[in-house]
């Protein structure tokens, strides 16, 4: 529906500090994420995919907004939001943490960063967490300010990301552990840089706190990466499906629980200090765990030639029975098949189960497989 029509841009489709550089590089398209522009590609989906796996890219992911919790109750509110135990979230660490409501349903799946004793950044996927968190803080009379901070993430992703980062920020950046952050000198500031990012190829995310430095940072990275064939890029549909990285709003929504989403290892169900008073959705998720989930996130291999990626959920069936839906699907040029992420009914979850996918242009045979796909796992 409407494929190929241009996106109308206005004040609501907010720009980023890098938007002029992104536009000058000639993106193939934009999407809107957290009410902000997110480019979706530059040289074409497959070309961008191979380049991301082999070289290094700079991504404008400023749309990963930082919902800042600041004040005495910052950590208390952060813990209330998520069912992951944050007691080990010390300064210098980040954690992928499901945010759920009181019924244990997914509100968002952010990365939570402990910036300071009384300052936390919730790096959100595409839903309005500031409203949810601000409402909880107000309703519970917590001593915490909830704002969308002036912070503008820029990602450096790909196997050569360490070399580019070292050239710009110094060799010490190579020592950063996965989901750790530290500050590195740049342009008279000390930028918060984490080893993280929405690809399985490795790299960094730079949390720029001064929007006026956007071009300066972008240009320094592009210049340092010139010999390493750096290119502007974007989260890549093929790469992230192969890697099993979930997209909130596509693969999971408010209807789903973190267990259905396969996020079990980020749910601290056995932590006794977590109660509905300290972690809003914890008992709902515990109850679901004891009953067992009725559906689950799975990989799918879809037969036949290259499909057009879905713009709406595609139903799944076995015989006449509706058994789930596909949220993301694309042709993998490396695996020479269509790969997909689907929510599949419990009875049909086993690897090798044959199912039917009702795509926008017809029915296809498909097979349930494990995530990530072969060769797609994090390096
Ligand atoms: N970076 C930042 N913010 C973000 C994203 C990001 N906000 C939105 C979105 N991405 C959140 N979703 C994810 C999903 C998966 C991961 C990170 C953010 C991820 N998962 C690791 C994996 O699956 O390999 C495991 C993480 C862990 O072990 O804790 O990286 O990309 N700033």
Read off the pLDDT of each residue in 285-296 and give the average, rounded to a whole number: 98
CA of 273 to the centre of ligand 1 (A): 25
* 3-state class (DSSP) for residue 170: coil
Q: How confident is the model at residue 2 (pLDDT cuts 50, 70, 90)?
A: low
Taking the complete model, does pTM exceed 0.85, yes or no? yes
Q: Is 197 a pocket residue for ligand 1 (Cβ < 6 Å)?
A: yes
Q: Which string of b and e fits 3-39 if b means at least 16 CB within 10 Å?
A: eeeeeeeeeeebebbbbebbeebebeebeebbebbbb
Judge whether 217 and 206 are in contact, CB under 8 Å. Answer: yes
pLDDT of residue 1: 44
Strand partners, 345: 295
Q: Is 205 a pocket residue for ligand 1 (Cβ < 6 Å)?
A: yes
Residue 101 CB burial class (10 angstroms; 0-12, 13-18, ≥19): middle
CA distance 314 to 108: 22
pLDDT of residue 5: 87
Q: What are phi and psi of 206, to 5 degrees?
A: -105, 120
CA of 377 to the centre of ligand 1 (A): 14
Write the residue with the smallest CA distance to atom 28 of ligand 1: 96
3-7, 37-41, 180-184, 292-296: least confidently modelled range: 3-7
- Residue 108 has, within 13 A of its CA and on its CB side, a CA count of 24
pLDDT digits over 79-113, tens only? 999 999 999 999 999 999 999 999 999 999 999 99
Q: Which two tokens stand for residue 281?
A: 């959705």
Mention every residue, 6+ apart, whose C-beta is less than 8 A from residue 90.
114
Q: Which two tokens stand for residue 215?
A: 């071009």
Alpha-carbon Rg for the chain, nearest whole angstrom, is: 21
Q: Is the per-residue pLDDT at 368 higher than 90?
A: yes
pLDDT digits over 200-216, tens only? 999 999 999 999 999 99
Write the residue with the smallest CA distance to atom 24 of ligand 1: 378
Judge whether 130 and 24 are in contact, CB under 8 Å. Answer: no
Q: Is 299 a pocket residue for ligand 1 (Cβ < 6 Å)?
A: no
Q: What is the 3-state secondary structure (H, E, C) of 68-124?
A: EEECCCHHHHHHHHECCCCCCCCCCEEEECCEECCCCCEEECCEEEEEECCEEEEEC
Q: Is the per-residue pLDDT at 3 higher than 70?
A: no
CA distance 275 to 271: 9
CA distance 213 to 72: 30
Q: Is the per-residue pLDDT at 52 higher than 80?
A: yes
């Amino acid at each position: 529906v409407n494929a190929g029509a241009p996106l109308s841009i206005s004040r609501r489709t907010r720009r980023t500090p890098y938007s002029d550089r992104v536009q000058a590089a000639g993106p193939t398209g934009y999407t809107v994420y957290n009410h902000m522009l997110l480019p979706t590609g530059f040289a074409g989906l497959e070309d961008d995919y191979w380049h991301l796996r082999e070289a290094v890219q700079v991504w404008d992911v400023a749309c990963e907004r930082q919902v800042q919790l600041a004040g005495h109750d910052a950590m208390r509110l952060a813990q209330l939001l998520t069912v992951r135990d944050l007691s080990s979230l010390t300064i210098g660490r980040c954690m992928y943490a499901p945010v759920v409501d009181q019924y244990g349903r997914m509100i968002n799946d952010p990365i939570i960063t402990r910036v300071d004793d009384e300052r936390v950044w919730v790096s959100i996927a595409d839903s309005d967490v500031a409203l949810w968190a601000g409402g909880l803080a107000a309703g519970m009379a917590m001593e915490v300010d909830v704002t969308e901070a002036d912070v503008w993430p820029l990602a450096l992703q790909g196997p050569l990301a360490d070399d580019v980062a070292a050239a710009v920020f110094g060799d010490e950046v190579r020592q950063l552990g996965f989901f750790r952050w530290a500050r590195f000198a740049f342009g008279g500031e000390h930028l918060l840089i984490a080893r993280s990012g929405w690809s399985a190829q490795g790299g960094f995310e730079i949390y720029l706190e001064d929007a006026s430095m956007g071009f300066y940072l972008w240009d320094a990275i592009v210049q340092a990466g010139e010999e390493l064939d750096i290119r502007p890029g974007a989260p890549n549909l093929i790469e992230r499906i192969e890697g099993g990285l979930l997209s909130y709003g596509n693969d999971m929504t408010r209807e789903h629980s973190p267990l259905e989403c396969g996020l079990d290892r980020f749910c601290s169900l056995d932590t006794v200090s977590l109660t509905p008073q300290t972690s809003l959705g914890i008992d709902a998720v515990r109850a679901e765990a004891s009953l067992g989930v009725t559906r689950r996130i799975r990989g799918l291999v879809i037969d036949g030639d290259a499909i057009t990626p879905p713009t709406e959920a595609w139903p799944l069936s076995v015989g006449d029975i509706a058994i789930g839906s596909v949220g993301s699907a694309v042709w993998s040029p490396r695996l020479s098949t269509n790969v997909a992420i689907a929510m599949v009914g419990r009875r049909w979850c086993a690897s090798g189960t044959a199912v039917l996918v009702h795509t926008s242009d017809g029915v296809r045979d498909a097979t349930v497989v494990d995530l990530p796909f072969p060769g797609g796992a994090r390096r």
